[in-house]
A and B are shown apart, each in its own frame.
Chain A
């Protein structure tokens, strides 16, 4: 009996500690969300999306249209580079290379790469794609973002493809299908929802990144979408505006932060819904 009581007590202590930690985490998250909501909602208006940046001294004018477009362009370019590479890499790990030691090494490195601070990636790309060319440019920004999503997509693709039962592949092989057709027609189709979710979550991850862009595409106050020059960036703009002494710029930073947060949240929700509806059936 004594023994049982002791176990019950231990259980209660562990449970309360865990609940407390979860509560703290959740509370912090809600405070941030509430803050962004409160400050952002007040400053949001149409000008934010329709006008380009204006000097802070002109009250009631200027927006972040170029920054939104620039950020979108960078994210899109990063996805165009990173998604195919990531999916093919994940395919190698789960299919062709699954019996090689090297794939386990790559898999492990990808896990580590997911948690590399993005500023480190930024400085790396700065050294490789900015310094040699002598100017910040959009391609460098896109490359830095692509490097961030690459390991995420590799790992989700690998995991999702591993979830496809082997019996299904064997069934396709048994019909005399070559490996590439098995992957293309059967494995990709079965894993599509999961891979799609992975891509969405990866995009959500880079949509709000600032650090890797600071050293690469930097920012521009002008409406310009030339990828060989500095490209306007929403997150860098938020960083600059928020740090400025001008009340209307700070307001705009809150509004932009609110929009980014909503976007990231939306991506996450869509991603999770997809996986819930499609993968788990």
Chain B
């Protein structure tokens, strides 16, 4: 989607919003919050210059949300804006997290504008959900709502009979991936060369399309997914006197299933990641095509306590080609990367206290990422959370490579 198309889409969303108000909105509801969040690095490391070293995150944030609907209920809008003073990077910015208009009828709905979209059945593991994410927010302990970034998209839903069809046409938006402004990690690319990411150019190169079909079968929910999109983390390569990061094409297809088994919930999801710009697997800068799959089970242990377990695997299709072309100095991945996760949640004191522990355990890479947290709600409007992001294990692993970035954090939010 070109800039012009994006602007047009936003204008259309805004007009929809205005139209819905003009058509007799029952009033616009405003709410929001003020929040402070600070994350301090737990280890003493010699940071290179220019890194937010002691405090990778330190910010004050105000959010304002407005939503409304016309009296007949067939048109509405929502806007969610954050004004942010980022002390860690010495930056102040206004972020449009969501801004969309809705049209609703009995058999179909349309949503246009910036919107968060979440698919799939994994818990912090994503296969068929290829929509943009904010890994920096995750790794610095921001509240979970910041894990997802909005897509600038047109989303159409149709409800013919028992099935739910969803079609999303979106402009490309990269993930917010960890960079050397806040994080320290080993980098096998040549030092000293300037870096630049190149987002897809104008026209159709920027367009993405994703679809989902879902339905119920007795107690089970089935879904099928397909998308024509791009990897949202840059694939870096040296180009002349600089290092350029491009976002290679990605096609995915997959399915999921979830339902009750015993006293808990079983989740299954699988997908195929086709890398059309590296079909033979010989381009070391671009991810190989992969199969991905997960199986998860969650159940209650005792009152107000639940546990969730997941086993996840990524299987590289052209492993021989990958090994042959991997440049010297780059750590080699396994053909089958396996990760297990554990989530334990316990509520106390009339659910005013929440203890949560989530752990990624790299079975093949022998690394880990553990996030314990404790939240106390002082009242309906005020809560505080302390927690940690603890990386460890072998430094060649995805989580182990982050281990100089382990941090503890404190978040305080006042909602109104």
Are the chains A and B members of one assembly?
A: no
Q: Which A residues form the contact surface with B (CB < 8 A)?
A: none
Q: Which B residues form the contact surface with A (CB < 8 A)?
A: none
